Chains A and B, each alone.
Chain A
Amino acid sequence: MINTFIAFDENDDDFGEYFFESHNDIISDFQKNKLINYVSICGLNCTEKGIIDILNSINENPFVFIAISHGNEDEFCSHEVYISATNANQFRNSFIYSTSCSTGKNLAKILIDNGSLAFIGYNNEIFVPLDYSKLFYTCENYGIKSFFNNDETIETSYNKLIEHYTAQIDILLSGSMEDLIIASTLLDNRDKLTFLGNGSLTRKFFN
């Protein structure tokens, strides 16, 4: 079984509902996949201590960590910081898949330097047009779903994530002026994607 943790901050004032729906989008896919043993970490438990307690049970085995919350260049945040340089060593042997803003800028390298195997995330602030929430979180989640559903490398999943963004952009181009603006926002988010670490690993490595 692939040990997988999904941290999501459903209590956030601005994005709680978005994070909740994004989490549901992922687990509805995971529930169909017998290879995955997932644990959802809700907002109240997204604390540094909460994360340490949960990850201690892993005993250095490879795992996947998905973050659906706010973030910045140096930290993942819920009502408090829950991943930063301080506890980066807890993520040894992990593949981190982030939908948070900017965590790909500094923190991703710190995590890799501390033993994380791979990181997919965004290296800058990302935007969400409110009437198009579903489109945006399904794009954000596409790469991790593809990784778990196929015998493919992390690098392939990353490339497929970019291709999925592009395909959605192309669909929007046949719509209205507003769709064009949404397509340009989606493209901006796509171009903030970043990947670090070992791209050759597949889900078998984590199983």
Chain B
Amino acid sequence: MNLNLWELLLKLNYLLISYKMSAPIKIVVIHDGLIPKVDPLLVELQEKFGLNEVIHYENSNDGLEYVLGNLNQKMIVILDMNFSKGELSGLQVFENIRDKTALVYIILITADEVIKIKNEDLIFLINHDAFALESVTADYSKIISLVENASHKLDARVDAVLEDWITKQSDEKRAKPYLKTREGKTYTLENILESIRQQTEIGKQMERNILKLSVDLLSRQKTKLDD
């Protein structure tokens, strides 16, 4: 294998492993129908992901506050659709999180049949990358399996790796102009971080560039092998 390709693969692997190890994924459960600490879903999640990594909020406003206050943390949110009056609905919490980041996976669970969810709400959820929508049942294995799947995907996302790298830089470096386009636009790492989370152009561009780099090296290696 070509040394550069080998080096890149090792480096990407190392980065993904160090990203995985850098901070465990927090599972944030925002649900008012679960018995705190002892509900089977919470217990199963704690067994799978660690006692301290599962955080339960019964109040949706509090849950949202935690998520928005910890965007530097890798998170998967399990979100109930329905809350008491005076609290934000599941959909509103979803909308508020998506306003800030696309990098948090959100699994919505509902006690209602899916058919009872308004058409426009379903369209909104699909268009804004709801990870999954699941009915509440006594069998929580489906939800656990969805969380495991989300956890795997989160570890393999290039944008999440970039986010992780940027969040580890000093405040000073993050605030300094970092990248300029020859058309005169300037981006700090902070701007790039925001763009990665909002999935706007410069963030997507950087993600594409990393993927292009991998493909370029693989295709160059293939050409050498074909020769």
- Chain A interface (Cβ within 8 Å of chain B)? 12-15, 70-72, 100-102, 125-131, 166, 169-170, 173-174, 177-178, 180-181, 183-185, 187-188, 191
Assembly CA distance A174 to B14 (angstroms): 13
- 17 A-B Cβ contacts within 8 A? A14-B180, A14-B184, A70-B182, A70-B183, A102-B183, A127-B181, A128-B181, A129-B178, A174-B7, A180-B8, A180-B210, A180-B213, A183-B213, A184-B210, A184-B213, A187-B212, A191-B212
B4 at the interface (CB under 8 A from A): yes
- A42 CB, min distance to chain B CBs, angstroms: 18
Q: Which 9 A-B pairs have the closest CB atoms?
A: A184-B209, A101-B182, A184-B213, A170-B4, A14-B184, A188-B209, A184-B210, A126-B182, A125-B181
Q: Which of B153-191 contact A (CB under 8 A)?
A: 162, 165, 177-184, 186
Q: Which residue of B lies closest to A191 (CB)?
A: B212
- Per-residue interface assignment for chain B, residues 200 to 227, with 1 indicating a CB less than 8 Å from any chain A CB and 0 otherwise: 0000011011101100110010000000
B179 & A129 in contact (Cβ 8 Å cutoff)? yes
B183 & A128 in contact (Cβ 8 Å cutoff)? no
- Chain B interface (Cβ within 8 Å of chain A)? 4, 7-8, 11, 15, 162, 165, 177-184, 186, 205-206, 208-210, 212-213, 216-217, 220
A126 & B181 in contact (Cβ 8 Å cutoff)? yes
A130 & B183 in contact (Cβ 8 Å cutoff)? no
Q: Return chain A residues, CB-CB under 8 Å to B212.
A: 184, 187-188, 191
Question: Known contacts A170-B4, A191-B212; can you find 4 more A-B pairs with CB under 8 A?
Answer: A129-B179, A183-B213, A188-B208, A188-B212
With A169-B213, A177-B15, A187-B212: A128-B182 Cβ-Cβ less than 8 Å: yes
B206 & A125 in contact (Cβ 8 Å cutoff)? no
Q: Return chain A residues, CB-CB under 8 Å to B7.
A: 173-174
Q: Binding site of A, secondary structure by majority: helix, strand, loop or mixed? A: mixed
A181 & B180 in contact (Cβ 8 Å cutoff)? no
- B175 CB, min distance to chain A CBs, angstroms: 13
* B179 partner, pick from A70, A71, A128, A174, beta carbons under 8 A: A128
With A173-B4, A173-B7, A173-B11: A185-B209 Cβ-Cβ less than 8 Å: yes
- A165 CB, min distance to chain B CBs, angstroms: 11
Q: Return chain B residues, CB-CB under 8 Å to A100.
A: 182
B183 & A181 in contact (Cβ 8 Å cutoff)? no
Q: Return chain B residues, CB-CB under 8 Å to A170.
A: 4
Identify which of A15, A102, A125, A184 gathers the most chain B CB atoms within 10 Å of its CB: A184
Q: Return chain B residues, CB-CB under 8 Å to A15.
A: 180, 182, 184
Assembly CA distance A127 to B182 (angstroms): 6
- A184 CB, min distance to chain B CBs, angstroms: 4
Assembly CA distance A15 to B220 (angstroms): 33
Q: Return chain A residues, CB-CB under 8 Å to B182.
A: 15, 70-71, 100-101, 125-128
Q: Which residue of B lies closest to A184 (CB)?
A: B209
Assembly CA distance A133 to B206 (angstroms): 18
Q: Return chain A residues, CB-CB under 8 Å to B186.
A: 14
Q: Return chain A residues, CB-CB under 8 Å to B208.
A: 188
Q: Return chain A residues, CB-CB under 8 Å to B181.
A: 101, 125-128
With A169-B213, A173-B7, A184-B213: A127-B179 Cβ-Cβ less than 8 Å: yes
A180 & B184 in contact (Cβ 8 Å cutoff)? no
A185 & B179 in contact (Cβ 8 Å cutoff)? yes
Q: Which residue of A lies closest to B6 (CB)?
A: A173
B213 & A128 in contact (Cβ 8 Å cutoff)? no
Assembly CA distance A71 to B184 (angstroms): 10
Q: Return chain B residues, CB-CB under 8 Å to A166.
A: 220
Assembly CA distance A188 to B181 (angstroms): 12
B11 & A180 in contact (Cβ 8 Å cutoff)? yes
